[in-house]
Structure 1
C-alpha cells in the first residue's frame, strides 16, 4: 500500500510539473509549439494516475462505502477531464488541477487522518468527497443535456451549458480578503466595529458575508480537496529532499519577500501610469466607443514588468476614491475589472476587486488577520518536533504564500487563474484551526 501511495503522489507531482510547463510555454511565444505537446502529456498523466488508483481499488478484497465513493470520484473526475469541451485551451488546466488533487488524496487519508484522534477530520473528508462526487456526476449530466435546456427570460433566450469547469467556476466573484474575514466571523465582528456604525455600513458588511457564504457553499468541497491534496504533494516533495528546518523557514521567508516585492511593484506601476492618457490603451475600458486595437497589439501594450495590467488598477482605484473606507459591496464593478479581450477575460484581478468591494478598512483588517495567523502558525511549527504535523503546517503556509504570489502577479505559472483564491482561503481556514488548537503529537 505504501509503495502504491508513493507512486500516486509521484504521479501527482509529475502532473504538477507538466501543469507548470503548459502554463509557461503558453505565455512564452517562442515555445508555443510545445504547448500542445505538454497538454497531451498532462492529460496522459491524469489518465495514468486514474488507472493506478483504479487498480488499487479492484485489488482490494473488502471495499467499504467510503472506498467506493472515493474511487467513484476519481473515475468521475478523470472522465470529466476527458469530456471537457474546451480541453485544448484554458479548461485543460482546470482538469489538470483536479487530477493532481485526486491523485494525492489517498496518501493523505491513509496517513495523516487515520489516527483515532482525527476521526472527525476523516468524516469531514468523507462528506466532502460524497458532495464532490455528486457535483461531478451532475456536471457530466448537464454537459450532455445542456443543449436541450433553454428558457426565455426578459425576452432573451437563455441556454444552460455547464461543463465541469463552469459548474465549479461559480466562485469567480469570491474576493480574497472578504472571504478570509468571513471564515473568521467572530474576529470580524469583534475587531472591526467600524463596519457596524451605520445602517449603510452594516448592510454592506452583511451583504458581503451572505454573498461569500453562498459561493463558499457552492465551492467548498472542491476547494478543500485542492488545498489538501496539493499540500500533501508539497510535503512529499520536501520529505524527499529531507531539508532542515532552517532551510524550510528560509525558503518561506524568501517567498514572503518575493510576494511583498511583487505588491510593491504593482503599487509603483499604478503611480507611474496614473498620468498616462487612458484613451491610449485602445478604449478597452474607459471609452468603449473608441476603435478597438487588435488583440496581439493590445496584449503587447499591456504586458510589463509583471503583467502590465495598470489600466485595471487605475480604473479600480478611480472608483475607490468615491468610497475609500467601506467600498461598494461584494463583487462591485466585477464586469468592469477584467481585461477587455476575449482570451484574457478570466484573468480577473482579485486584489483590485477586494479593495473596491470592501474598502481600505476591510482590506487592511483582513490582511492583518492573515498575517497574524501565518506568523503564529510558523511560530508553532518551529517550536514543534519534526514530524507530519510540522510538515503539514509548513505546507499550508507555503501554499498560502504561493497563492498570494499568484494573486499579485496574476500569472498562470503556478496556479491557474482563479485557483489561487481557492487555495488561499482554504489554507487560511486550516491554519486558523491549527492556531486555535495547536496539537503536534505524532501520528502512529
Structure 2
C-alpha cells in the first residue's frame, strides 16, 4: 500500500474518532455487505434463450457501444473483470433468460440443470446468486400481460415459469450456502384507461398464490415482489402497483422490492424504507437512477443514493435489506457501468457509516436543529475519500480512477475483438 494512502487514512481516523466514529469497525461492517450486481447490464438484457426476440415489457436499452457479451462465457468474463475492480465479495443477479444450455427449452420448463455452469462459476469465485423469472421479451407476453392474462392457458404458462424459477433460486441457495432472493416482476398493464381495474389484480393475486404455494426453505430462497408505477405500453394502469404488492407482500410474508425508478418522479424510495421496515420482515432494493422516467441510468453518487444509504445505516436496516442494482446503458463501456454503479453504492454506505448518526439523532430529540444542520453540512467535507482509498487498497482493487485504465485495456484486448 502506498505510504500516502496509509498516512491519509490514519489522519482521517483521528478526525472521525473525535466524534466517536470507529473507522476500522466501519470498514469491517462494510466488508460484510453483499451487493447483487445485475448480469443484464453486460448484454443489454438480451439473455441467451431468446436472443432474437425484441425487448418488450416497457424495457428499452439505448446505445451500441462495442463489446456486448454474446455468450455465457463472455458475460462471466466481463463480470469477473468488473468484480476485480470492486472491493468486497458480492452476488450476481440472474434472469431466467440467462440459462447456459444448448437445449432448446421453454421458460416454463427451465430447471436447475440449465444453470449448473453459473453455480460452478459462482462457487469458484465465492459469489452468491440471486434470480428472477423473465416475464417479458417473449411471444406470450407481447400483448402486455403475463400472470394476470385473461387467457387461462397463457396465465398458466407464466405461473409455471415462476414456479420453475423459485426452484432454481432454491437450488442456488442450497449449492452456494448463500440465500437466493428470487424476485417476481411482471409488466402487466394497459396503455389507456381500463374499464376493469379489479379483475386483472384478482387474477394476479390468484396466480401469485399458486406460484408461492410450495413452501421452500427460506435459508435457500426468499421470494420478493416488485411494483411499478407505469411503463412504456402501460402508461395508464399497471396491475402490480405499489399498493397491490405492499399488501400482498405483507399478507404473505414476501420481501417487498422498492425500485428507485418505479415511482412517481417526486417520490424517493429512501423515504419509504423506515415505514416499510416497521411492518415487513425483509426488504429488497433495486438501486437505479431514473431520469424523468424509469430509464435505469448508471448509479451515481447523488443525493438519493446517499439518502438511501443513510436510511439503511441510521435505521440499522442492513440486516433485513437485500441490495441489488438495476440499470443498463449500452452507450458506454458496459464493464465500466458495473464498476461505477457498484463502487458508488458501496461508497454511499461507507459515507453513511462515517457520519455521527447518534449525535445527529440526539440533537434532533433535544430540538437543537442548529447542531443537526451544522454537523450534517460539516461532515460533507470530512476526509471520506481517504478512507475509501484505504478500503480499496486494502481490498486489492484499484484506488480512485486507476480502475479505468484496466477497463480500457480490457476493452482493447477483449471487447473490441468481439466484433471482428
Task: Assess same fold via TM > 0.5.
Answer: no
Larger relative helix fraction: 1
**What's the TM-score, normalizing by structure 1?**
0.24
Larger relative strand fraction: 2
**What's the TM-score, normalizing by structure 2?**
0.25
The structure with higher relative contact order (CA 8 Å, sep 6+) is: 2
